[in-house]
Each structure stands twice: as structure tokens, then as C-alpha cells.
Amino acid sequence: MKNIHPFGVALLAAAISAPAMAEEEIQTIYLNPFVGYQNFGDKRDLDEEMTYGFGLEYRFLPQWAVEAVYSRSEPDRKYTSGDVDFDEVRVDGLYYFGSQSDKLNPYLAAGVGYADFDGGGVRTPGTEHDETRVNLGGGLRYNVTDLVSLRGDVRAFHGVDESTFDAQVSAGLSLAFSRNTSEPAPAPAPAPAPDADGDGVPDNRDQCPNTVPGAPVDSTGCELDSDGDGVVDRLDECPGTARGTEVDETGCEVVTIDTITLYITFPFDSAEVASEYDDDIREVADAMKADQEVSVEVAGHTDSVGAAEYNKDLSQRRAEAVADRLVEMYGIDRNRVTPVGYGEAEPVATNETAGGRARNRRVEARLQVRR
């Protein structure tokens, strides 16, 4: 190469020394020999000609690289005899659209360089001078293996000094002779399994979803029930009850003193209690007055005629009617009376006969004492 400007040498040296500035992030260094076809613009007295050269490319990030390039050509003069020695050094920046592991790596490129046109002492405008050129283009890298790839490249060049325009297409073989030797980044921690209620038990093992926030749970995600009475520890006011003991909603033992069955009939779709049943209701009230610790569940029932949901509502209204009698007529504290409608769920006789259905239309008073 003849008479290469010191500026071009400086650019080449800067590109080659760039890896030392980012040693921690080195990914791949390629040696890129190539051959191509150079088309010179109309302002130059030069024929199209084959060109050859090599590049030293430093890919410091998966998408970014910098390359120092030297190319040479010996085009003939187009309008006069003789030829010209063409030499160029340049530095290009490349942006890849994929990572190095992709089979195909398209890229865009732009750069600046310094060219020397030596006409052997014969001065012809556009053919014998030193020139700064900028370029823009792109190409495609095809990875044959991790170490060998093929590259095609297209560039347009603009001579800054005399406003010339040239073009070049090239193809080459790339060799990767350096790889990153730093330790790979640790694998990210696996994402935690979904836990919708935040109790620490993944949803796929949680047998009690939607537990109360902060409540202690067992390995299945269910709230703890240390004494096994069916009332979780958070609500259990009587911990330590013996297993199998009947308890109320607070976890305390209850004893059923008696069950008084009230065969109270009602007119169709009515929850009014006939006065003829007052004596039966008074019997329940007397039992409760005799022991202030006694509470009662007034349980309403129906036969199976009609929709189940309607029967449930009807049984609830009938149970509440009897409960109201206990409170309003006999002065029982309402906190000691719990009306519950069971609908058609607990028959005591067949629903296939009129007599059986009549027996199932009933209200029961279940007296209990808490210990």
C-alpha cells in the first residue's frame, strides 16, 4: 500500500486496540478476508474492477461490533491508458439484528475511511489523490459453525473531498479466533409457583384456597386445627377439646339436652304459626327458663314438593316464625335462639305419600347447653 495517510493508520490502530478497552465484555473477534466488485462513480476515469481485502471485527455485544478494514484494487483508466492503484483503510460500526447463536445474522453498517488513488504520476481529476470517504450499507452473516461463517456485504461510498459516489459488493469467509472466556452469568432463580392466597403453599398443592391472610396453615394450605374439633385454631375459644367431642361454632363442647319435635303445619306458602301450637312452644320456653345456659336451634323442614331452593327459603321462614314466638311471647333472649331452615334435606318419612309429606313438614327445637 502506497502513501496511506497517517489519519487512516491511526483509525486502524484504534480499532485493533479497542478490545483492550472492553476486555471484560469481549464476545468474538473475526478475521474477515473478502473479494468483491468495485464500481466507481461517473466523476472518476476508472473502470469497474475486482477488489480484495480483509477486516478485523470485534463484536463486543450481541448486537454491536466494530471493524477495521483494508481493501485494494487496480482499476484501469476508462478514458485514457494505464491503471490506478487503489488502497483504502476504514473503520466501520455494525449493528446486528440477532445474537451470535442465530444461524442468520443480518446487519447494518456505517463507517469512515481514507483512500489513496495512485496513478503512477499521471494526474487525472478523480484518479490521483488522497480522499476521505464515508460509507453506509449492510450485509448478512451465515454461521456455518461456531468458528466459521460466510458473509456478504453491500456498501455505498461518498468521497467527501470531491463529492464522489462509489459502490462495492463483496463476499468473504469469516474465522472466529477468539471467544469470551468469562464465567457465564448464573441462571436466574426459578419463578415462584403461583400462590393466590399468599399462605406459602403453591396453588397446585393448596387444598384450602383463599385462606385468611396471615393465618397459620399446614402443608396442604389449610388452617391449623390442633385439637381436631373442626374449628380452626384462629376461631377456637376452647382449645384442647377431646377428639370426637361435639362442639359449637366457637370450638367449645355442647351437650344436647333434648330434642322436642313440633309437628306444626302451615297453610300453603305461609309461615304463620297457628295458636294451637302455643303449648308445644311453651314447653321449649320452660325448658330454657329452667337453665339459663341452654340455647335452642329451631330447625325448619319441608316435604319435597316444589323447588329445593324455594323449600329451603320456606323452611327458614317457618323456623323464624317459631323463634319469634319464643322471643316475643315467652321472653327468651334472642341470642339464645337460632332459626335454621333445612328445606327438604332431612325427611323423617317418605315423600311418596300424603301422610309422609305431612310428617316432613315440621319444626324441631334442639336444646343444647355449652360447657
Structural domains in the chain?
6-179 (2.40.160.20), 226-370 (3.30.1330.60)
Q: What is the pLDDT of residue 179?
A: 64
Q: What is the pLDDT of residue 307?
A: 93
Report H helices in 1-159.
6-21
**Is residue 279 classed exposed, middle or buried when 0-12, 13-18 and 19+ CB atoms within 10 A define those classes?**
exposed
CA-wise closest residue to 281 among 323, 310, 315, 237: 323
For cell 333434648, what's the residue? Answer: 258
- Angle between helix 278-290 and helix 308-328 axes, rounded to 10 deg: 60
CA separation for the pair 297, 268 (Å, rounded):
24
CA separation for the pair 54, 194 (Å, rounded):
55
Instruction: Judge whether 296 and 370 are in contact, CB under 8 Å.
Output: no
In a structure prediction context, what are the per-residue pLDDT tens digits for the chain, which is 371 residues long?
A: 444 444 444 444 444 444 433 344 557 899 999 999 999 888 887 888 899 999 999 998 889 999 999 999 999 888 777 888 889 999 999 999 988 888 999 999 999 999 998 865 444 444 567 889 999 999 999 999 989 999 999 999 999 988 889 999 999 999 988 666 556 667 787 888 888 888 888 888 888 888 888 888 888 888 888 888 888 888 888 888 888 887 877 878 776 655 766 677 777 677 888 888 898 899 889 988 988 888 899 999 999 999 999 999 999 999 999 999 999 999 999 999 999 999 999 999 999 998 888 888 888 888 877 65
CA separation for the pair 363, 317 (Å, rounded):
11
Instruction: Judge whether 129 and 115 are in contact, CB under 8 Å.
Output: no
The amino acid sitting at 336 is R
CA separation for the pair 150, 32 (Å, rounded):
9
CA-wise closest residue to 263 among 115, 118, 364: 364
CA separation for the pair 347, 320 (Å, rounded):
19
Please name every residue paired with 70 in a beta bridge, in sequence order, or none if there are none: 54, 89
Q: Is the pTM of this model over 0.75?
A: no
Q: What is the pLDDT of residue 180?
A: 60
CA separation for the pair 52, 235 (Å, rounded):
86
Pull the grid cell for residue 200: 406459602
Q: What is the pLDDT of residue 81?
A: 79
How many helices (H) and strands (E) in the chain?
A: 4, 12
42 Cβ neighbours under 8 A, 6+ residues apart: none
203 Cβ neighbours under 8 A, 6+ residues apart: 193, 194, 195, 196, 209
CA separation for the pair 204, 206 (Å, rounded):
6
Instruction: Judge whether 260 and 283 are in contact, CB under 8 Å.
Output: yes
At 280, is the secondary structure helix, strand, or coil? helix
Q: What is the pLDDT of residue 334?
A: 95
